[in-house]
């Protein structure tokens, strides 16, 4: 049984009095412990999709299933890391990462111990009492990742978590994320615009069409980890994905 299943999801917004179709009968599934990446043209509706899955938005039509249970419109079932770190400026690093356990009314002594371990794992030891304004962008994203993990949900929704980082920091963060996933085998659904990032991390990649987004194709990535961008098989897959995305990007510009 799939851990997460999206069935016939459709969403339309009204913008300046006109209808703007965003999602069109979108279907896909993610199995337990699977790492799946979503690729698609900018503006095709990927973030809207995550907002629907997480229960922030209600779709026009369609269903979301978690472990076979229909959950559409229910919040609090996923750990959701958005593009911006969204750290609370008045809280220290430690207090920021403990938001999840506090909301879920978990014993904070145990949560603090795990928080300290995670912060150390991501190179943030010694910054527990710092405030977000005192951190670099890369450090803030690491704090946001720890906060996401401490929600302890079965499925992680990661929306371009490293997109704003420099290339070196992004590479380090990708490696850390892969280590964490290998350790805990949580189910991960990652939105990214970076084809190489998708190929380095994911078990399979779903390619979405231009808006309104529907599933264009599924690309398995049956390559052993750790992967290298210079591997011949990875380069072939990268070429295939870029060609698919180029077709969809041309649709965006032809439409506009």
Residue 70, domain CATH = 3.40.50.300
Residue 29: inside a domain, yes or no?
Answer: yes
What is the token pair recorded at 206?
């779903």
CB 45 within 8 A of CB 97: no
Per-residue model confidence (pLDDT) at position 256:
53
Residue 105: inside a domain, yes or no?
Answer: no
Per-residue model confidence (pLDDT) at position 251:
73
Residue 111: inside a domain, yes or no?
Answer: no
Residue 99: inside a domain, yes or no?
Answer: no
Per-residue model confidence (pLDDT) at position 65:
94
Residue 96: inside a domain, yes or no?
Answer: no
Structural domain count of the chain: 1
Please give the residue range of the domain that contains residue 1.
Answer: 1-78+189-256
* CA distance linking residue 126 with residue 183, whole number of Å: 24
| SS3 assignment, position 21 | strand
How many residues does this entry show for the chain? 256
> Tokens 């299943």 label which residue?
5
Residue 94: inside a domain, yes or no?
Answer: no
Residue 139: inside a domain, yes or no?
Answer: no
Residue 215: inside a domain, yes or no?
Answer: yes
pLDDT profile of the chain (256 residues), mean per 10:
91 89 95 96 90 92 93 85 92 96 90 93 94 92 93 94 84 90 93 95 96 95 93 96 90 64
Per-residue model confidence (pLDDT) at position 95:
96
Per-residue model confidence (pLDDT) at position 79:
94
Exposure letters 124-136 (e unless 16+ CB within 10 A, then b): beebbeebbeebe
């Amino acid at each position: 049984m799939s851990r997460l299943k999206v069935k016939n999801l459709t969403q339309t917004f009204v913008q300046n009095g006109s209808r703007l179709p965003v999602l069109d009968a979108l279907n896909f599934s993610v199995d337990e412990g699977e790492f799946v990446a979503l690729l698609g043209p900018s503006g095709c509706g990927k973030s809207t999709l995550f907002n629907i899955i997480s229960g922030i938005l209600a779709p026009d039509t369609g269903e979301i299933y978690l472990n076979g249970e229909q959950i559409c419109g229910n919040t609090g079932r996923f750990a959701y890391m958005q593009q911006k770190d969204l750290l609370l400026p008045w809280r220290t690093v430690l207090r920021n990462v403990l938001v999840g356990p506090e909301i879920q009314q978990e014993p904070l002594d145990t949560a603090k111990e795990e928080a300290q371990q995670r912060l150390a794992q991501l190179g943030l030891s010694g910054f527990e009492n710092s405030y977000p304004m005192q951190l670099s962008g890369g450090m803030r994203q690491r704090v946001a990742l720890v906060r996401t993990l401490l929600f302890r949900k079965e499925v992680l929704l990661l929306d371009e978590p490293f997109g704003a980082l420099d290339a070196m920091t992004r590479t380090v963060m990708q490696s850390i994320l892969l280590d964490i996933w290998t350790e805990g085998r949580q189910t991960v659904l990652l939105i990214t615009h970076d084809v190489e990032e998708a190929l380095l991390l994911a078990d399979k990649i779903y390619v979405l069409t231009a808006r309104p987004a529907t599933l264009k194709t599924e690309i398995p990535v049956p390559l052993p980890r750790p992967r290298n961008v210079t591997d011949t098989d990875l380069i072939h897959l990268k070429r295939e994905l870029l060609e698919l995305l180029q077709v969809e990007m041309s649709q965006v510009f032809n439409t506009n």
